């Protein structure tokens, strides 16, 4: 039988998986600041990054509350090391060209939106509340990223080639979003979070539809990387944290 | 001030039309894009609005330099929102310039080729987190000094863009000052960073208003047209008068021993910045000129495939629509 302490531990993990994913993706997107291909994209990217950072404050804030050790969202974001991060591997992929950035966003949004929809039905009202708020923002993220993937996939020969290359490169990082482990199972059983594999049918259908319209082809290989949710990351995350956490680490007694 | 040393263009228009135009301006009427206007008025405005727009765009870079290192989630969000506002300001201003018959792409090319300038201030580096405070407090503070009167400028689209921009700029200045307070009242290291930031940004901020223009014919023409509302010296004095007490509140020292209250003029005395440095920065020899333009050029070049892809898709759609009809 699962005790309350076990469940809280699982819940802390589950909330960090959500909050770390939005944090890491929000950070990656914010790296584009001032460098997008067109002014409207600078504005849109800042919007997406802002939404994701705002969601991070809510998810990690709740994680800290559930943990009950006196930490807060900032402490979780800025004072944990790589092995304690629980984000998906997909979101820590470097930005690459704008095509990679957009494709990563679309593959994530296509999971994020239905996941939040499912979380709106959580038995924990705090989670349902955050999911409802975030869901409104993410519906727009998905609309935008899907639209751009279609337009660039079915644009010029070069834009098509770049989007296909991005898809090929990022595809092996998508499986982790729908792969559950014992933490996911415990949370699903308690009616607190949706089981990752329950998102699979919606994700498959959405991705197939958009890629079809974009004239892009999903790779045939079924190999999928995993480990991010359990704290086993790529080399890229450490460099991101070195940048992101530098001030907090260098001046630990300061408040900002 | 985001537009510096904008020389007004000579005008060779019909004298009677010029008189009637000036009468409209003097009566406080707004000039709208479809109204007749002297060629010099149009060209001067394109240059001024364009330079202002470019400053907003290039101005994303020194602050973007710290978004990935912002020390808390809230600070990161505030800085992102601020830089996003700047991109938005650039967008309204390019739109205002477009009403005068110049496209955004033409203006972008003029920026990248060096034909058009942006404010000298963005050629200085942001070296510590305190610089995010100093930029908001001093740089946005100086910009507001200039932009508040421009809400009354004679060209309608520019004046209206400025109303919205000023609201956001005053939020930017407050958040900058808020960072300065945290730093100045923080640990000794934070306070040292705050003083260092003030030391580095003080004179470049004074330079934002441009050199004294009391003898400039161009300025007189721009002022008659209500494109420029105050002299550079008036605005600079106002800025110093506002800023000195704020520095005192923070317990920071203005890096100019000559700063002293002058009862007779009812304002502070202060030293002129080193104008030879200013002219070097304008010429391209500031600490970051090359990096700033390289970054914009790279963004433009790397984004070409994206812009072309969207255009190609739009024309495919249009063709398909025609075929279906």
DSSP class per residue in A125-190? HHHHHHHHHHHHHHHHHHHHHHHHHHHHHTS-HHHHHHHHHHHHHHGGGSHHHH---HHHHHHHHT
CA distance B21 to chain A (A): 35
Task: Give the tokens for residue B17.
Answer: 């039309």
Measured between alpha carbons, how far is B321 from B306 in angstroms, rounded to an integer?
Answer: 23
- The mean pLDDT of A147-165, rounded to a whole number, is 98
A256: in domain: no
Mean pLDDT for all residues in chain A: 97
Indicate the SS3 state at residue B31.
strand
Note the pLDDT of residue B325. 79
- The mean pLDDT of A191-210, rounded to a whole number, is 98
Longest alpha-carbon distance in chain A: 58
CA distance A153 to chain B (A): 8
pLDDT band at B11 (very low <50, low <70, confident <90, very high): confident
- The mean pLDDT of B263-273, rounded to a whole number, is 97
Which tens digit of pLDDT belongs to each residue from A18-57?
999 999 999 999 999 999 999 999 999 999 999 999 999 9
| pLDDT at position A201 over 70 | yes
In terms of pTM, does the model score above 0.90? yes
Interchain contact B318–A (C-beta under 8 A): no
DSSP string, B281-298: IIIIISTTHHHHHHHHHH
Indicate the SS3 state at residue B9.
coil
Judge: B189–A39 Cβ closer than 8 Å, yes or no.
no
Which CATH number belongs to the domain containing residue A73 in this structure? Answer: 1.20.1260.10
Measured between alpha carbons, how far is B115 from A211 in angstroms, rounded to an integer?
Answer: 43
Count of alpha carbons within 13 angstroms of residue A230, beta-carbon side: 11
A42: in domain: yes
**Long-range contact list for A196-202, CB < 8 A, 24+ apart?**
A198/A118, A199/A111, A199/A114, A199/A115, A199/A118, A202/A114
Angle at B171 between CA B168 and CA B177, to 5 degrees: 145
Judge: A156–B309 Cβ closer than 8 Å, yes or no.
yes
Looking at the structure of chain A, the number of domains it has is: 1
| pLDDT at position A6 over 90 | yes
Nearest to A35 among B295, B305, B308 (CB): B295
Judge: B312–A159 Cβ closer than 8 Å, yes or no.
yes
DSSP string, B42-84: HHHHHHHHHHHHHHHHHTHHHHHHHHTT-SSHHHHHHHHHHHH
Mean pLDDT for all residues in chain B: 94
Is A157 exposed, middle or buried, given 0-12, 13-18 or 19+ CB atoms closer than 10 A? exposed
Note the pLDDT of residue B218. 76
Nearest to B69 among A53, A56, A244 (CB): A244
Is the ipTM, as predicted for this complex, more than 0.90?
yes
Residue keyed to tokens 């405070």: B133
- The mean pLDDT of B216-221, rounded to a whole number, is 80
Quote the domain boundaries for residue A104: 4-250
Note the pLDDT of residue B56. 96
A255: in domain: no
Interchain contact A96–B (C-beta under 8 A): no
pLDDT band at B323 (very low <50, low <70, confident <90, very high): confident
Is A179 exposed, middle or buried, given 0-12, 13-18 or 19+ CB atoms closer than 10 A? middle
A41: in domain: yes
Note the pLDDT of residue A1. 55
A237: in domain: yes
Measured between alpha carbons, how far is A239 from A226 in angstroms, rounded to an integer?
Answer: 20
What's the per-residue H, E or C state across A177-243? HHCCCHHHHHHHHCCCCCCHHHCHHHHHHHHHHHHHHCCCCCCCCCCCCCCHHHCCCCHHHHHHHHH
Taking the alpha carbons at both ends of chain A, their separation in whole angstroms is 44
**Are B287 and B120 contacting, i.e. CB atoms less than 8 angstroms apart?**
no
| pLDDT at position B252 over 80 | yes
Nearest one of A96, A31, A14 to A240, comparing CA atoms:
A31
Note the pLDDT of residue B214. 77
**Are B250 and B180 contacting, i.e. CB atoms less than 8 angstroms apart?**
yes
CA distance B255 to chain A (A): 25
Interface with chain B: mutation pick from A23, A28, A32, A46, highest number of B CBs within 10 Å: A46
């Amino acid at each position: 039988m699962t005790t309350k302490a076990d469940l809280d531990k699982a819940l802390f993990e589950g909330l960090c998986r959500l909050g770390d994913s939005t944090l890491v993706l929000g950070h990656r997107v914010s790296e584009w600041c001032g460098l997008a291909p067109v002014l409207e994209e600078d504005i849109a990217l800042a919007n997406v990054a802002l939404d994701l950072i705002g969601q991070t404050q809510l998810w990690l804030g709740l994680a800290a509350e559930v943990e009950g050790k006196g930490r807060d969202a900032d402490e979780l974001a800025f004072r944990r090391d790589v092995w304690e991060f629980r984000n998906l591997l997909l979101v820590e992929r470097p930005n690459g060209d704008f095509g990679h950035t957009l494709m990563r966003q679309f593959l994530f949004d296509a999971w994020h939106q239905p996941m939040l929809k499912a979380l709106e039905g959580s038995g924990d009202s705090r989670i349902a509340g955050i999911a409802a708020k975030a869901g409104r923002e993410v519906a727009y993220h998905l609309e935008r990223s899907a639209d751009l993937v279609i337009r660039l996939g079915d644009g010029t020969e070069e834009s098509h080639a770049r989007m296909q290359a991005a898809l090929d490169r990022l595809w092996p990082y998508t499986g982790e979003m729908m792969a559950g482990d014992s933490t996911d199972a415990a949370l699903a059983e308690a009616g607190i979070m949706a089981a990752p594999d329950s998102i699979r049918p919606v994700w498959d259908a959405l991705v197939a539809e958009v890629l079809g319209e974009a004239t892009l082809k999903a790779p045939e290989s079924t190999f999928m990387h995993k480990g991010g949710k359990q704290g086993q990351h790529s080399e890229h995350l450490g460099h991101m944290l070195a940048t992101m956490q530098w001030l907090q680490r260098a001046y630990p007694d300061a408040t900002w | 001030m985001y537009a510096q040393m904008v020389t007004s263009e000579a005008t060779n228009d019909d004298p009677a039309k010029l008189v009637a135009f000036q009468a409209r301006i003097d009566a406080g009427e707004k000039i709208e894009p479809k109204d007749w206007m002297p060629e010099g008025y149009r060209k001067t405005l394109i240059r001024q609005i364009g330079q202002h727009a470019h400053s907003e765009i290039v101005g994303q870079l020194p602050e973007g330099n710290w978004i990935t290192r912002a020390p808390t989630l809230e600070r990161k969000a505030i800085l992102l929102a601020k830089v996003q506002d700047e991109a938005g300001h650039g967008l309204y201003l390019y739109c205002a310039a477009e009403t005068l018959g110049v496209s955004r792409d033409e203006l972008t090319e003029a920026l990248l080729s060096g034909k058009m300038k942006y404010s000298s201030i963005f050629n200085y580096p942001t070296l510590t987190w305190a610089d995010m405070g100093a930029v908001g407090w001093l740089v946005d503070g100086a910009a507001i000094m200039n932009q508040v009167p421009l809400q009354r400028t004679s060209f309608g689209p520019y004046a209206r863009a400025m109303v919205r921009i000023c609201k956001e700029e005053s939020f930017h200045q407050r958040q900058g000052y808020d960072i300065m307070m945290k730093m100045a009242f923080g640990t000794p290291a934070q306070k040292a960073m705050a003083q260092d930031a003030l030391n580095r940004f003080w004179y470049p901020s004074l330079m934002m208003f441009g050199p004294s223009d009391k003898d400039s014919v161009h300025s007189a023409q721009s002022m008659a047209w209500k494109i420029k509302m105050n002299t550079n010296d008036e605005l600079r004095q106002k800025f110093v008068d506002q800023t000195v007490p704020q520095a005192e509140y923070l317990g920071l020292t203005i890096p100019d021993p000559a700063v002293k209250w002058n009862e007779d003029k009812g304002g502070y005395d202060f030293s002129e910045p080193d104008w030879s440095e200013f002219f070097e920065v304008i010429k391209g020899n500031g600490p970051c000129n090359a990096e700033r333009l390289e970054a914009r050029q790279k963004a433009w070049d790397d984004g070409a495939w994206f812009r072309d892809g969207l255009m190609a898709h739009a024309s495919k759609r249009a063709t398909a629509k025609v075929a279906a009809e």
